[in-house]
Amino acid sequence: MDDRGGGKLRFFDCNMRLGRAGVVRPEHILDAAGLLGEMDYAGLDSALVYHAFSQEWDAGGGNAKLLEEIGDCGRFYPCFVPLPHATHEMPSLAEFGADLKRRHGAARLYPKAHSYSLQDWCAGEMLDVLEALRLPVLIELAQTDWDELAGVLAAHPRLPVIVLATSYRVNRYLYPLWEKFDNLYLETATFQIMRGIEDVCRRFGPQRLVFGTGLPLLDAGGPLAQVTYAELPVAHKRMIAGETLAELLGLEHWGGAA
């Protein structure tokens, strides 16, 4: 154990997919038992999971399937996919939000894939409900753009927004947003710019970063190394590894020590 250590960190993965999907490979893990096995192998304690059905078939149907497949496993937390209110494809947003809050879950949005706008004329009612409940919203960068994201952050200042699947080329967009908005968070997995994690922590604080892997599509080892080998105090590593996400989900007793 080197001097930056302090034992194994507990990891809470904000970005994990469950279920059968349209495009898979033999090595892809599709079921909850398989994901748990991979979490054990990698050393991940908990995961916020969404169901591929919600993304690729039917948002509500996928959310129900997610609950069915994760069962009562205490290591999984549900990441439901909502839709804007106007087409009435889901139960009332108030019920949706209350249910998700009870489950310590979060919402994952697919505006491009699901063909809607994140602007308030379209998604405002949905985002208002999520904001009122402080439910974290996760969104892949490819599902939006920086201007749209800035609009959401400005219009919904108490809505925690976790941006997923970015890249090493994003600082010129990210940093001005972080100068203006406290409700923006970044998944670490694909934020791979050299010493970017330390740079973000120095400029904006470790509370901006949330650990994620992208399992089962991406390897967990890379994202883990970004945190375990970070040149940061252990307390900051714990925040990134899981404490910040747990706090956003309202999990008071998750804890960051192994």
> Could you list the residues that contact another protein (CB under 8 A)?
1-2, 4-5, 7-9, 25, 27-28, 41-43, 167-172, 175, 189-190, 192-199, 214-226, 228-231
In the complex, minimum distance from the CB of residue 93 to another protein, in angstroms, rounded to a whole number: 34
In the complex, minimum distance from the CB of residue 232 to another protein, in angstroms, rounded to a whole number: 10
Nearer residue to another protein within complex by CB, 109 or 197: 197
Query: Do 118 and 141 meet the contact criterion of CB atoms below 8 Å apart?
Result: no
Query: Do 217 and 18 meet the contact criterion of CB atoms below 8 Å apart?
Result: no
* Cα 255 to Cα 32: distance, rounded to the nearest angstrom: 23
Count Cβ atoms within 10 A of the Cβ of residue 87 and give its class: 0-12 exposed, 13-18 middle, 19 or more buried.
Answer: exposed
In the complex, minimum distance from the CB of residue 241 to another protein, in angstroms, rounded to a whole number: 11
Nearer residue to another protein within complex by CB, 5 or 91: 5
Nearer residue to another protein within complex by CB, 4 or 180: 4
In the complex, minimum distance from the CB of residue 213 to another protein, in angstroms, rounded to a whole number: 9
For residue 150, CA distances in Å to 85, 114, 177, 182, 191 come to 22, 20, 7, 12, 19
In the complex, minimum distance from the CB of residue 70 to another protein, in angstroms, rounded to a whole number: 20
Nearer residue to another protein within complex by CB, 186 or 189: 189
Nearer residue to another protein within complex by CB, 47 or 133: 47
Here the contacts of 148-154 (C-beta below 8 Å, separation 24 or greater) are 148/111, 148/117, 148/118, 148/119, 149/118, 149/177, 149/184, 150/177, 150/180, 150/181, 151/118, 151/119, 151/120, 152/118, 152/127, 153/177, 153/180, 153/181, 153/183, 153/184, 154/180, 154/181
Nearer residue to another protein within complex by CB, 117 or 171: 171
In the complex, minimum distance from the CB of residue 113 to another protein, in angstroms, rounded to a whole number: 20
